[in-house]
Protein backbone atom coordinates (compact mmCIF):
# COMPACT_ATOMS: atom_id res chain seq x y z
CA UNK A 1 0.00 0.00 0.00
CA UNK A 2 3.05 2.24 0.34
CA UNK A 3 2.90 5.00 -2.29
CA UNK A 4 -0.82 4.51 -2.91
CA UNK A 5 -3.09 7.56 -3.05
CA UNK A 6 -6.37 7.25 -1.14
CA UNK A 7 -9.36 9.35 -2.18
CA UNK A 8 -7.08 11.43 -4.47
CA UNK A 9 -5.74 13.13 -1.34
CA UNK A 10 -3.84 10.94 1.13
CA UNK A 11 -0.46 9.55 0.04
CA UNK A 12 0.50 6.47 2.07
CA UNK A 13 4.10 6.68 3.31
CA UNK A 14 4.51 3.63 5.54
CA UNK A 15 2.75 1.26 7.90
CA UNK A 16 2.82 2.62 11.46
CA UNK A 17 1.33 -0.41 13.23
CA UNK A 18 -1.28 -3.14 13.09
CA UNK A 19 -3.36 -5.25 15.42
CA UNK A 20 -6.78 -6.79 15.75
CA UNK A 21 -8.76 -5.85 12.65
CA UNK A 22 -7.07 -2.56 11.83
CA UNK A 23 -3.86 -1.33 10.26
CA UNK A 24 -2.55 2.19 10.87
CA UNK A 25 -0.63 3.99 8.13
CA UNK A 26 1.39 7.17 8.16
CA UNK A 27 0.23 9.34 5.26
CA UNK A 28 0.58 12.82 3.82
CA UNK A 29 -2.51 14.96 3.30
CA UNK A 30 -1.90 16.69 -0.04
CA UNK A 31 -4.74 19.16 0.46
CA UNK A 32 -3.90 20.39 3.97
CA UNK A 33 -0.13 19.76 3.60
CA UNK A 34 0.20 17.81 6.84
CA UNK A 35 1.08 14.31 8.04
CA UNK A 36 -1.86 12.23 9.24
CA UNK A 37 -2.50 8.73 10.56
CA UNK A 38 -5.01 6.57 8.68
CA UNK A 39 -6.62 3.67 10.51
CA UNK A 40 -7.90 1.14 7.96
CA UNK A 41 -10.60 -1.12 9.42
CA UNK A 42 -11.33 -4.32 7.52
CA UNK A 43 -13.89 -5.94 9.79
CA UNK A 44 -17.58 -6.64 9.92
CA UNK A 45 -20.40 -6.50 12.42
CA UNK A 46 -19.71 -5.50 16.01
CA UNK A 47 -15.97 -5.01 15.55
CA UNK A 48 -16.48 -2.47 12.78
CA UNK A 49 -19.32 -0.73 14.66
CA UNK A 50 -17.16 -0.43 17.79
CA UNK A 51 -14.29 1.15 15.85
CA UNK A 52 -16.58 3.63 14.12
CA UNK A 53 -18.30 4.46 17.41
CA UNK A 54 -14.88 5.17 18.95
CA UNK A 55 -13.98 7.52 16.09
CA UNK A 56 -17.28 9.40 16.41
CA UNK A 57 -16.82 9.75 20.17
CA UNK A 58 -13.31 11.20 19.74
CA UNK A 59 -14.62 13.52 17.00
CA UNK A 60 -16.93 15.08 19.61
CA UNK A 61 -13.90 16.11 21.68
CA UNK A 62 -11.58 18.97 20.83
CA UNK A 63 -8.64 19.07 23.20
CA UNK A 64 -4.84 19.32 22.76
CA UNK A 65 -4.34 16.19 24.90
CA UNK A 66 -6.86 14.01 23.02
CA UNK A 67 -6.01 12.64 19.61
CA UNK A 68 -7.97 14.43 16.87
CA UNK A 69 -10.17 12.65 14.32
CA UNK A 70 -10.41 14.60 11.06
CA UNK A 71 -12.71 12.41 8.97
CA UNK A 72 -14.23 8.95 8.45
CA UNK A 73 -14.24 7.66 4.86
CA UNK A 74 -15.33 4.42 3.22
CA UNK A 75 -14.15 2.55 0.13
CA UNK A 76 -15.96 -0.73 -0.44
CA UNK A 77 -15.98 -2.78 2.77
CA UNK A 78 -13.05 -0.85 4.27
CA UNK A 79 -13.46 2.17 6.55
CA UNK A 80 -10.65 4.71 6.87
CA UNK A 81 -10.42 6.90 9.97
CA UNK A 82 -8.25 9.96 9.27
CA UNK A 83 -6.55 11.03 12.50
CA UNK A 84 -3.86 13.28 13.85
CA UNK A 85 -0.43 11.69 13.50
CA UNK A 86 1.53 11.53 16.77
CA UNK A 87 5.30 11.17 16.50
CA UNK A 88 6.30 9.61 19.78
CA UNK A 89 5.65 6.48 21.83
CA UNK A 90 3.21 5.19 24.42
CA UNK A 91 3.71 5.67 28.15
CA UNK A 92 3.86 1.88 28.39
CA UNK A 93 6.91 1.81 26.12
CA UNK A 94 8.44 4.73 28.01
CA UNK A 95 8.07 3.11 31.46
CA UNK A 96 9.36 -0.23 30.15
CA UNK A 97 12.62 1.42 29.10
CA UNK A 98 13.26 4.08 31.74
CA UNK A 99 11.36 2.73 34.75
CA UNK A 100 10.11 5.30 37.25
CA UNK A 101 10.03 8.93 36.12
CA UNK A 102 11.19 12.02 37.96
CA UNK A 103 8.51 13.65 40.08
CA UNK A 104 8.43 16.75 37.86
CA UNK A 105 8.06 14.64 34.70
CA UNK A 106 5.39 12.36 36.16
CA UNK A 107 3.44 15.31 37.63
CA UNK A 108 3.37 17.07 34.25
CA UNK A 109 2.10 13.92 32.51
CA UNK A 110 -0.56 13.24 35.19
CA UNK A 111 -1.77 16.84 35.00
CA UNK A 112 -2.13 16.63 31.20
CA UNK A 113 -3.94 13.30 31.56
CA UNK A 114 -6.39 14.83 34.04
CA UNK A 115 -6.91 17.78 31.67
CA UNK A 116 -7.81 15.39 28.81
CA UNK A 117 -10.11 13.19 30.91
CA UNK A 118 -11.81 16.27 32.35
CA UNK A 119 -12.65 17.36 28.79
CA UNK A 120 -14.14 13.93 28.10
CA UNK A 121 -16.16 14.02 31.33
CA UNK A 122 -17.53 17.47 30.47
CA UNK A 123 -18.87 15.83 27.28
CA UNK A 124 -20.39 13.05 29.48
CA UNK A 125 -17.92 10.47 28.12
CA UNK A 126 -16.36 7.88 30.45
CA UNK A 127 -13.14 6.46 28.98
CA UNK A 128 -13.12 3.15 30.95
CA UNK A 129 -9.72 2.02 29.61
CA UNK A 130 -7.15 4.52 30.86
CA UNK A 131 -3.74 2.84 30.86
CA UNK A 132 -0.19 3.68 29.70
CA UNK A 133 -0.66 1.78 26.41
CA UNK A 134 -3.51 4.16 25.50
CA UNK A 135 -1.56 7.33 26.27
CA UNK A 136 0.89 8.60 23.66
CA UNK A 137 3.63 11.10 24.47
CA UNK A 138 5.25 13.27 21.81
CA UNK A 139 8.89 14.29 21.59
CA UNK A 140 7.94 17.63 23.17
CA UNK A 141 6.41 15.93 26.20
CA UNK A 142 2.75 16.46 25.32
CA UNK A 143 0.46 13.51 25.91
CA UNK A 144 -2.37 12.34 23.66
CA UNK A 145 -5.12 10.09 25.03
CA UNK A 146 -6.30 7.45 22.54
CA UNK A 147 -8.54 4.37 22.33
CA UNK A 148 -12.06 5.31 23.33
CA UNK A 149 -13.16 1.91 22.00
CA UNK A 150 -15.07 0.83 25.13
CA UNK A 151 -16.04 4.31 26.33
CA UNK A 152 -19.58 5.00 27.47
CA UNK A 153 -21.76 8.08 27.46
CA UNK A 154 -23.12 8.83 30.93
CA UNK A 155 -26.91 8.47 30.91
CA UNK A 156 -26.93 6.28 27.79
CA UNK A 157 -25.40 3.10 29.27
CA UNK A 158 -27.59 0.02 28.90
CA UNK A 159 -27.52 -3.17 30.92
CA UNK A 160 -25.71 -4.82 27.98
CA UNK A 161 -22.76 -2.44 28.41
CA UNK A 162 -22.31 -3.74 31.97
CA UNK A 163 -22.95 -7.37 31.11
CA UNK A 164 -19.59 -7.78 29.38
CA UNK A 165 -16.58 -6.52 31.36
CA UNK A 166 -14.06 -4.91 29.02
CA UNK A 167 -10.85 -3.12 29.81
CA UNK A 168 -7.49 -3.98 31.36
CA UNK A 169 -7.94 -5.52 34.80
CA UNK A 170 -4.83 -4.07 36.45
CA UNK A 171 -6.01 -0.49 35.66
CA UNK A 172 -9.71 -1.16 36.20
CA UNK A 173 -11.77 0.15 39.12
CA UNK A 174 -13.35 -2.49 41.41
CA UNK A 175 -16.89 -1.48 40.41
CA UNK A 176 -16.06 -1.76 36.70
CA UNK A 177 -14.45 -5.17 37.24
CA UNK A 178 -17.59 -6.41 39.02
CA UNK A 179 -19.87 -5.22 36.22
CA UNK A 180 -21.58 -2.51 38.27
CA UNK A 181 -22.73 0.83 36.93
CA UNK A 182 -19.74 3.14 36.61
CA UNK A 183 -19.38 6.91 36.53
CA UNK A 184 -16.56 9.43 36.22
CA UNK A 185 -14.97 8.16 39.45
CA UNK A 186 -14.06 4.90 37.72
CA UNK A 187 -11.72 6.86 35.45
CA UNK A 188 -10.28 8.62 38.54
CA UNK A 189 -9.26 5.21 39.96
CA UNK A 190 -7.49 4.39 36.66
CA UNK A 191 -5.69 7.76 36.74
CA UNK A 192 -4.42 6.85 40.20
CA UNK A 193 -3.05 3.50 38.96
CA UNK A 194 -1.25 5.18 36.03
CA UNK A 195 0.20 7.88 38.31
CA UNK A 196 1.43 5.25 40.79
CA UNK A 197 3.14 3.32 38.00
CA UNK A 198 4.83 6.42 36.56
CA UNK A 199 6.35 7.27 39.95
CA UNK A 200 7.33 3.75 41.08
CA UNK A 201 7.68 1.69 37.91
CA UNK A 202 5.08 -0.87 39.18
CA UNK A 203 1.30 -0.99 39.56
CA UNK A 204 -0.20 -0.61 43.07
CA UNK A 205 -1.95 -4.00 43.23
CA UNK A 206 -0.98 -7.54 42.26
CA UNK A 207 -1.18 -7.84 38.44
CA UNK A 208 -3.27 -11.03 38.61
CA UNK A 209 -5.70 -10.12 41.41
CA UNK A 210 -5.78 -6.31 41.63
CA UNK A 211 -9.49 -5.78 42.31
CA UNK A 212 -9.75 -8.70 44.73
CA UNK A 213 -6.87 -7.24 46.76
CA UNK A 214 -8.50 -3.81 46.79
CA UNK A 215 -11.86 -5.27 47.91
CA UNK A 216 -10.12 -7.13 50.76
CA UNK A 217 -8.93 -3.79 52.10
CA UNK A 218 -5.26 -4.17 51.16
CA UNK A 219 -3.94 -0.67 50.70
CA UNK A 220 -0.89 -0.23 48.47
CA UNK A 221 2.20 1.32 50.05
CA UNK A 222 2.52 5.06 49.40
CA UNK A 223 4.64 5.81 46.31
CA UNK A 224 7.17 7.60 48.54
CA UNK A 225 8.09 4.26 50.17
CA UNK A 226 9.26 2.98 46.78
CA UNK A 227 10.51 6.34 45.47
CA UNK A 228 11.71 8.62 48.30
CA UNK A 229 11.68 11.67 46.03
CA UNK A 230 7.86 11.60 45.90
CA UNK A 231 6.43 14.29 48.25
CA UNK A 232 3.78 13.27 50.78
CA UNK A 233 1.27 15.65 49.20
CA UNK A 234 1.52 13.62 45.97
CA UNK A 235 1.15 10.41 48.02
CA UNK A 236 -2.14 11.75 49.35
CA UNK A 237 -3.47 12.63 45.87
CA UNK A 238 -2.69 9.21 44.41
CA UNK A 239 -3.95 7.17 47.36
CA UNK A 240 -7.20 9.15 47.38
CA UNK A 241 -7.69 8.24 43.70
CA UNK A 242 -7.12 4.57 44.62
CA UNK A 243 -9.84 4.33 47.26
CA UNK A 244 -11.91 1.15 46.90
CA UNK A 245 -15.28 2.85 47.26
CA UNK A 246 -16.11 5.53 44.66
CA UNK A 247 -17.57 7.95 47.22
CA UNK A 248 -14.16 8.12 48.98
CA UNK A 249 -12.35 9.27 45.83
CA UNK A 250 -12.24 12.75 44.34
CA UNK A 251 -15.69 13.75 43.18
CA UNK A 252 -14.40 15.07 39.84
CA UNK A 253 -11.09 15.25 37.95
CA UNK A 254 -10.79 19.00 38.30
CA UNK A 255 -10.01 18.56 42.02
CA UNK A 256 -6.97 16.42 41.15
CA UNK A 257 -5.73 19.21 38.87
CA UNK A 258 -6.16 21.77 41.64
CA UNK A 259 -4.10 19.67 44.04
CA UNK A 260 -1.42 18.97 41.41
CA UNK A 261 -1.04 22.58 40.29
CA UNK A 262 1.14 23.43 43.29
CA UNK A 263 3.50 20.56 42.46
CA UNK A 264 4.13 21.49 38.83
CA UNK A 265 7.64 22.63 37.92
CA UNK A 266 7.63 26.38 37.50
CA UNK A 267 10.39 26.21 34.89
CA UNK A 268 8.31 24.89 31.97
CA UNK A 269 11.15 25.24 29.44
CA UNK A 270 13.51 23.10 31.49
CA UNK A 271 10.79 20.50 32.03
CA UNK A 272 10.08 20.38 28.31
CA UNK A 273 13.78 19.82 27.55
CA UNK A 274 13.92 17.00 30.12
CA UNK A 275 10.86 15.26 28.65
CA UNK A 276 12.20 15.74 25.12
CA UNK A 277 15.51 14.09 26.06
CA UNK A 278 13.70 11.29 27.88
CA UNK A 279 11.29 10.49 25.03
CA UNK A 280 14.01 10.79 22.37
CA UNK A 281 16.24 8.39 24.29
CA UNK A 282 13.43 5.84 24.62
CA UNK A 283 12.55 6.14 20.92
CA UNK A 284 16.19 5.57 19.98
CA UNK A 285 16.22 2.41 22.11
CA UNK A 286 13.09 1.15 20.34
CA UNK A 287 14.68 1.83 16.95
CA UNK A 288 17.83 -0.08 17.91
CA UNK A 289 15.78 -2.99 19.25
CA UNK A 290 13.83 -3.23 16.00
CA UNK A 291 17.01 -3.15 13.92
CA UNK A 292 18.54 -5.89 16.08
CA UNK A 293 15.39 -7.96 15.74
CA UNK A 294 15.40 -7.59 11.94
CA UNK A 295 18.98 -8.88 11.83
CA UNK A 296 17.98 -11.99 13.77
CA UNK A 297 14.78 -12.56 11.83
CA UNK A 298 14.42 -15.98 10.21
CA UNK A 299 14.31 -16.48 6.41
CA UNK A 300 10.68 -17.60 6.71
CA UNK A 301 9.65 -14.35 8.41
CA UNK A 302 11.59 -12.37 5.84
CA UNK A 303 9.64 -14.16 3.12
CA UNK A 304 6.40 -13.37 4.95
CA UNK A 305 7.37 -9.70 5.21
CA UNK A 306 8.32 -9.59 1.51
CA UNK A 307 5.04 -11.19 0.42
CA UNK A 308 3.03 -8.92 2.71
CA UNK A 309 4.68 -5.83 1.28
CA UNK A 310 4.30 -7.10 -2.28
CA UNK A 311 0.66 -8.13 -2.15
CA UNK A 312 -0.83 -6.00 0.65
CA UNK A 313 1.12 -2.76 0.96
CA UNK A 314 1.71 -2.62 -2.81
CA UNK A 315 -1.59 -4.18 -3.83
CA UNK A 316 -2.15 -1.88 -6.82
CA UNK A 317 1.34 -2.57 -8.21
CA UNK A 318 0.85 -6.31 -7.70
CA UNK A 319 -2.44 -6.28 -9.58
CA UNK A 320 -0.88 -4.38 -12.48
CA UNK A 321 1.95 -6.93 -12.69
CA UNK A 322 -0.49 -9.86 -12.51
CA UNK A 323 -2.63 -8.25 -15.22
CA UNK A 324 0.45 -7.96 -17.39
CA UNK A 325 1.42 -11.60 -16.79
CA UNK A 326 -2.12 -12.71 -17.65
CA UNK A 327 -2.12 -10.67 -20.87
CA UNK A 328 1.29 -12.11 -21.79
CA UNK A 329 0.75 -15.78 -20.92
CA UNK A 330 -2.82 -16.46 -22.10
CA UNK A 331 -2.46 -15.09 -25.66
CA UNK A 332 1.02 -16.64 -26.02
CA UNK A 333 -0.34 -20.04 -25.00
CA UNK A 334 -3.28 -19.83 -27.42
CA UNK A 335 -1.27 -18.40 -30.34
CA UNK A 336 1.47 -21.01 -29.91
CA UNK A 337 -0.96 -23.91 -29.51
CA UNK A 338 -2.92 -23.08 -32.66
CA UNK A 339 0.14 -21.92 -34.65
CA UNK A 340 -1.40 -18.50 -35.22
CA UNK A 341 0.94 -15.65 -36.37
CA UNK A 342 4.64 -16.07 -37.18
CA UNK A 343 6.96 -16.41 -34.19
CA UNK A 344 8.45 -12.83 -34.21
CA UNK A 345 4.98 -11.27 -34.50
CA UNK A 346 3.66 -13.57 -31.80
CA UNK A 347 6.34 -12.55 -29.27
CA UNK A 348 6.14 -8.85 -30.16
CA UNK A 349 2.36 -8.89 -29.73
CA UNK A 350 2.34 -10.48 -26.26
CA UNK A 351 5.16 -8.20 -25.03
CA UNK A 352 3.13 -5.19 -26.18
CA UNK A 353 0.09 -6.60 -24.38
CA UNK A 354 2.11 -6.99 -21.18
CA UNK A 355 3.11 -3.33 -21.08
CA UNK A 356 -0.37 -2.20 -22.14
CA UNK A 357 -1.93 -4.21 -19.30
CA UNK A 358 0.57 -2.82 -16.80
CA UNK A 359 -0.20 0.78 -17.78
CA UNK A 360 -3.94 0.35 -18.51
CA UNK A 361 -5.09 -2.94 -16.94
CA UNK A 362 -8.67 -2.86 -18.25
CA UNK A 363 -7.67 -2.06 -21.83
CA UNK A 364 -4.80 -4.56 -21.87
CA UNK A 365 -6.83 -7.46 -20.48
CA UNK A 366 -9.69 -6.76 -22.92
CA UNK A 367 -7.24 -6.74 -25.84
CA UNK A 368 -5.64 -10.00 -24.64
CA UNK A 369 -9.02 -11.72 -24.35
CA UNK A 370 -10.10 -10.59 -27.84
CA UNK A 371 -6.79 -11.61 -29.42
CA UNK A 372 -7.01 -15.06 -27.81
CA UNK A 373 -10.54 -15.51 -29.17
CA UNK A 374 -9.35 -15.29 -32.81
CA UNK A 375 -7.38 -18.60 -33.04
CA UNK A 376 -9.98 -20.38 -30.90
CA UNK A 377 -12.75 -19.31 -33.33
CA UNK A 378 -10.66 -20.48 -36.26
CA UNK A 379 -10.18 -23.86 -34.61
CA UNK A 380 -13.86 -24.27 -33.65
CA UNK A 381 -16.73 -21.79 -33.80
CA UNK A 382 -18.43 -23.64 -30.94
CA UNK A 383 -15.40 -23.46 -28.67
CA UNK A 384 -14.91 -19.85 -29.79
CA UNK A 385 -18.42 -18.89 -28.65
CA UNK A 386 -17.90 -20.77 -25.37
CA UNK A 387 -14.58 -19.01 -24.85
CA UNK A 388 -16.12 -15.62 -25.65
CA UNK A 389 -18.87 -16.21 -23.09
CA UNK A 390 -16.33 -17.04 -20.40
CA UNK A 391 -14.16 -14.09 -21.47
CA UNK A 392 -17.07 -11.65 -21.13
CA UNK A 393 -17.85 -12.98 -17.65
CA UNK A 394 -14.18 -12.72 -16.72
CA UNK A 395 -13.87 -9.16 -18.03
CA UNK A 396 -16.92 -7.84 -16.19
CA UNK A 397 -15.65 -9.41 -12.96
CA UNK A 398 -12.24 -7.86 -13.73
CA UNK A 399 -13.81 -4.40 -14.02
CA UNK A 400 -15.52 -4.85 -10.65
CA UNK A 401 -12.70 -6.53 -8.74
CA UNK A 402 -9.38 -7.38 -10.33
CA UNK A 403 -8.40 -9.64 -7.43
CA UNK A 404 -11.44 -11.85 -7.98
CA UNK A 405 -10.97 -11.90 -11.76
CA UNK A 406 -7.29 -12.84 -11.69
CA UNK A 407 -8.23 -15.53 -9.17
CA UNK A 408 -10.21 -17.23 -11.95
CA UNK A 409 -7.11 -17.93 -14.07
CA UNK A 410 -5.75 -20.26 -11.39
CA UNK A 411 -7.63 -23.52 -12.30
CA UNK A 412 -5.89 -24.07 -15.66
CA UNK A 413 -2.56 -23.23 -14.00
CA UNK A 414 -3.12 -25.56 -11.04
CA UNK A 415 -4.34 -28.53 -13.09
CA UNK A 416 -1.03 -29.50 -14.79
CA UNK A 417 0.63 -29.28 -11.35
CA UNK A 418 -1.92 -31.74 -9.88
CA UNK A 419 -3.15 -29.03 -7.51
CA UNK A 420 -6.75 -28.54 -8.69
CA UNK A 421 -8.10 -29.46 -5.22
CA UNK A 422 -6.26 -26.44 -3.84
CA UNK A 423 -8.68 -24.16 -5.68
CA UNK A 424 -11.91 -24.62 -3.64
CA UNK A 425 -9.93 -24.27 -0.38
CA UNK A 426 -8.25 -21.11 -1.64
CA UNK A 427 -11.53 -19.63 -2.94
CA UNK A 428 -13.28 -20.26 0.38
CA UNK A 429 -10.43 -18.69 2.33
CA UNK A 430 -10.10 -15.62 0.08
CA UNK A 431 -13.79 -14.69 -0.15
CA UNK A 432 -17.03 -14.79 1.78
CA UNK A 433 -19.42 -17.73 1.23
CA UNK A 434 -21.38 -16.20 -1.68
CA UNK A 435 -18.36 -15.02 -3.66
CA UNK A 436 -16.48 -18.22 -2.83
CA UNK A 437 -19.35 -20.34 -4.21
CA UNK A 438 -19.51 -18.34 -7.45
CA UNK A 439 -15.72 -18.38 -7.84
CA UNK A 440 -15.54 -22.14 -7.19
CA UNK A 441 -18.26 -23.00 -9.73
CA UNK A 442 -16.82 -20.73 -12.44
CA UNK A 443 -13.33 -22.04 -11.64
CA UNK A 444 -14.44 -25.64 -12.21
CA UNK A 445 -16.10 -24.63 -15.50
CA UNK A 446 -12.84 -22.99 -16.59
CA UNK A 447 -10.95 -26.14 -15.65
CA UNK A 448 -13.28 -28.29 -17.80
CA UNK A 449 -13.00 -25.84 -20.71
CA UNK A 450 -9.21 -26.00 -20.42
CA UNK A 451 -9.31 -29.79 -20.56
CA UNK A 452 -11.59 -29.75 -23.59
CA UNK A 453 -9.57 -27.15 -25.47
CA UNK A 454 -6.26 -28.90 -24.89
CA UNK A 455 -7.55 -32.45 -25.34
CA UNK A 456 -4.87 -33.07 -27.94
CA UNK A 457 -2.20 -32.58 -25.27
CA UNK A 458 -1.20 -35.65 -23.25
CA UNK A 459 -1.99 -34.09 -19.84
CA UNK A 460 -2.42 -36.31 -16.80
CA UNK A 461 -5.01 -34.40 -14.80
CA UNK A 462 -7.03 -35.12 -11.70
CA UNK A 463 -10.41 -33.82 -12.93
CA UNK A 464 -12.54 -36.96 -12.66
CA UNK A 465 -15.17 -36.31 -15.32
CA UNK A 466 -12.86 -34.70 -17.85
CA UNK A 467 -11.72 -37.83 -19.74
CA UNK A 468 -15.30 -38.64 -20.83
CA UNK A 469 -15.84 -35.13 -22.13
CA UNK A 470 -12.49 -35.18 -23.89
CA UNK A 471 -13.25 -38.51 -25.54
CA UNK A 472 -16.62 -37.16 -26.64
CA UNK A 473 -15.18 -34.01 -28.19
CA UNK A 474 -11.97 -35.50 -29.54
CA UNK A 475 -13.68 -37.65 -32.16
CA UNK A 476 -11.95 -36.70 -35.37
CA UNK A 477 -13.98 -34.29 -37.42
CA UNK A 478 -16.79 -34.07 -34.84
CA UNK A 479 -17.70 -30.71 -33.29
CA UNK A 480 -20.97 -30.83 -31.28
CA UNK A 481 -23.66 -28.18 -31.31
CA UNK A 482 -24.48 -26.14 -28.22
CA UNK A 483 -27.53 -28.32 -27.52
CA UNK A 484 -25.55 -31.55 -27.87
CA UNK A 485 -22.72 -30.26 -25.77
CA UNK A 486 -24.83 -29.12 -22.81
CA UNK A 487 -27.09 -32.17 -23.07
CA UNK A 488 -24.05 -34.38 -22.69
CA UNK A 489 -22.33 -32.07 -20.20
CA UNK A 490 -25.15 -32.13 -17.65
CA UNK A 491 -25.82 -35.86 -17.90
CA UNK A 492 -22.41 -36.59 -16.45
CA UNK A 493 -23.16 -37.55 -12.83
CA UNK A 494 -19.48 -37.45 -11.74
CA UNK A 495 -19.12 -33.93 -13.10
CA UNK A 496 -22.30 -32.72 -11.38
CA UNK A 497 -21.12 -34.43 -8.19
CA UNK A 498 -17.81 -32.57 -8.49
CA UNK A 499 -19.69 -29.27 -8.75
CA UNK A 500 -21.63 -30.10 -5.58
CA UNK A 501 -18.47 -31.06 -3.64
CA UNK A 502 -16.64 -27.90 -4.65
CA UNK A 503 -19.71 -25.80 -3.81
CA UNK A 504 -19.96 -27.34 -0.33
CA UNK A 505 -16.24 -26.81 0.37
CA UNK A 506 -16.38 -23.19 -0.84
CA UNK A 507 -19.43 -22.47 1.33
CA UNK A 508 -18.02 -24.16 4.44
CA UNK A 509 -14.57 -22.60 4.26
CA UNK A 510 -15.96 -19.23 3.11
CA UNK A 511 -18.39 -19.14 6.06
CA UNK A 512 -16.03 -20.27 8.82
CA UNK A 513 -12.58 -18.96 7.81
CA UNK A 514 -12.82 -15.27 8.70
CA UNK A 515 -9.06 -14.54 8.88
CA UNK A 516 -9.24 -13.51 12.54
CA UNK A 517 -6.73 -15.91 14.03
CA UNK A 518 -4.40 -18.54 12.58
CA UNK A 519 -5.49 -21.23 15.03
CA UNK A 520 -9.16 -20.63 14.25
CA UNK A 521 -8.71 -20.81 10.47
CA UNK A 522 -6.42 -23.85 10.46
CA UNK A 523 -9.17 -26.32 11.59
CA UNK A 524 -11.48 -24.86 8.93
CA UNK A 525 -8.94 -25.56 6.18
CA UNK A 526 -8.49 -29.10 7.50
CA UNK A 527 -12.28 -29.53 7.56
CA UNK A 528 -12.50 -28.45 3.90
CA UNK A 529 -9.69 -30.84 2.97
CA UNK A 530 -11.49 -33.63 4.85
CA UNK A 531 -14.69 -33.01 2.86
CA UNK A 532 -12.72 -33.21 -0.39
CA UNK A 533 -10.92 -36.36 0.73
CA UNK A 534 -14.13 -38.10 1.88
CA UNK A 535 -15.89 -37.21 -1.39
CA UNK A 536 -13.11 -38.22 -3.78
CA UNK A 537 -11.79 -41.23 -1.87
CA UNK A 538 -15.04 -42.73 -0.56
CA UNK A 539 -18.20 -41.38 -2.19
CA UNK A 540 -17.00 -41.44 -5.80
CA UNK A 541 -15.57 -44.98 -5.84
CA UNK A 542 -18.08 -46.54 -3.43
CA UNK A 543 -21.35 -44.84 -4.37
CA UNK A 544 -20.77 -43.69 -7.95
CA UNK A 545 -18.64 -46.73 -8.80
CA UNK A 546 -15.90 -44.68 -10.46
CA UNK A 547 -12.35 -45.90 -10.85
CA UNK A 548 -10.21 -43.40 -8.96
CA UNK A 549 -6.46 -43.15 -8.85
CA UNK A 550 -6.33 -43.12 -5.04
CA UNK A 551 -2.60 -42.48 -4.84
CA UNK A 552 -2.85 -39.43 -7.08
CA UNK A 553 -5.85 -38.04 -5.19
CA UNK A 554 -4.11 -38.49 -1.83
CA UNK A 555 -0.94 -36.81 -3.11
CA UNK A 556 -2.90 -33.91 -4.60
CA UNK A 557 -4.97 -33.44 -1.45
CA UNK A 558 -1.96 -33.62 0.87
CA UNK A 559 0.07 -31.16 -1.20
CA UNK A 560 -2.90 -28.78 -1.53
CA UNK A 561 -3.46 -28.85 2.24
CA UNK A 562 0.22 -28.17 2.96
CA UNK A 563 0.23 -25.21 0.56
CA UNK A 564 -2.94 -23.80 2.19
CA UNK A 565 -1.34 -24.05 5.65
CA UNK A 566 1.70 -22.16 4.33
CA UNK A 567 -0.54 -19.50 2.76
CA UNK A 568 -2.56 -18.85 5.92
CA UNK A 569 0.63 -18.71 7.98
CA UNK A 570 1.80 -15.85 5.73
CA UNK A 571 -1.34 -13.81 6.39
CA UNK A 572 -0.90 -10.93 8.86
CA UNK A 573 -3.19 -11.86 11.73
CA UNK A 574 -3.99 -9.35 14.43
CA UNK A 575 -3.82 -11.95 17.21
CA UNK A 576 -5.47 -11.59 20.59
CA UNK A 577 -7.26 -8.51 21.82
CA UNK A 578 -4.72 -7.02 24.20
CA UNK A 579 -7.24 -4.83 25.94
Give catalytic residues, as residue numbers. Answer: 129
What is the Cα gyration radius of the chain? 31
- Name beta bridge partners: 19: 22
User: Residue 416 and residue 462: Cα distance in Å, rounded?
Assistant: 9
User: Residue 556 and residue 425: Cα distance in Å, rounded?
Assistant: 13
Which residues, including other chains, have CB under 8 Å from residue 435's CB and lie 6 or more apart?
Answer: 404, 510
Instruction: Tell which residue, 263, 265, 286, 262, has the closest CA to residue 274.
Output: 265
CB count in 10 Å sphere of residue 152: 21
In whole angstroms, what separates CA 466 from the centre of its chain? 39
User: Residue 322 and residue 304: Cα distance in Å, rounded?
Assistant: 19
Q: How many secondary structure helices (H) and strands (E) does the chain include? A: 25, 11
User: Residue 575 and residue 279: Cα distance in Å, rounded?
Assistant: 28
CB count in 10 Å sphere of residue 521: 22
CB 144 within 8 A of CB 97: no
Instruction: Tell which residue, 206, 256, 267, has the closest CA to residue 234.
Output: 256
In whole angstroms, what separates CA 321 from the centre of its chain? 23
CB-side exposure of 520: number of CA atoms within 13 Å?
Answer: 11
Q: Please give the biggest Cα pair distance in the chain.
A: 102
- Computed from CA positions of residues 149, 155, 161, 162, in that sequence, does the dihedral angle turn out positive or negative? positive
In whole angstroms, what separates CA 479 from the centre of its chain? 49
- Name beta bridge partners: 38: 25, 82
CB count in 10 Å sphere of residue 335: 21
CB 319 within 8 A of CB 311: no
E strand or H helix at 563: helix 550-570
CB 19 within 8 A of CB 7: no
User: Residue 121 and residue 481: Cα distance in Å, rounded?
Assistant: 76
Q: CA distances (Å), 121 to each of 153, 168, 179, 185, 188, in order?
A: 9, 20, 20, 10, 11
**Phi, psi for 513 (deg, rounded to 5):** -85, 100
Amino acid sequence: MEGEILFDRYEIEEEAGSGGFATVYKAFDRTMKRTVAIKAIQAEGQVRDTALREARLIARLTHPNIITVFDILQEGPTFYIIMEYVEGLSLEELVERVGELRVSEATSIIYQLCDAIEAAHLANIIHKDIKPANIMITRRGRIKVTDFGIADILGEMSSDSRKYVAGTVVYMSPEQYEGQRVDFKSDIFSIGVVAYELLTGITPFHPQLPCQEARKGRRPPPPSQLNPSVPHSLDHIILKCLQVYPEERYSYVGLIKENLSGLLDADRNRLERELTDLVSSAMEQIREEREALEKRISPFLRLKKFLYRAFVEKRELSLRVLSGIFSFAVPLLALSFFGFLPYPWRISTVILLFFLSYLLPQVGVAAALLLTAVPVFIFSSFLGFLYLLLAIIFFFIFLRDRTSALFLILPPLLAPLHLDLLYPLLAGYAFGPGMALATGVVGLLLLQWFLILFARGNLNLLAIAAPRLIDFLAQEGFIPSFREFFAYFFTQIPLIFQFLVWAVVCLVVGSLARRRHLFLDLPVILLGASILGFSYLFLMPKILGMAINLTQVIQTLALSTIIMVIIISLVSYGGEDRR
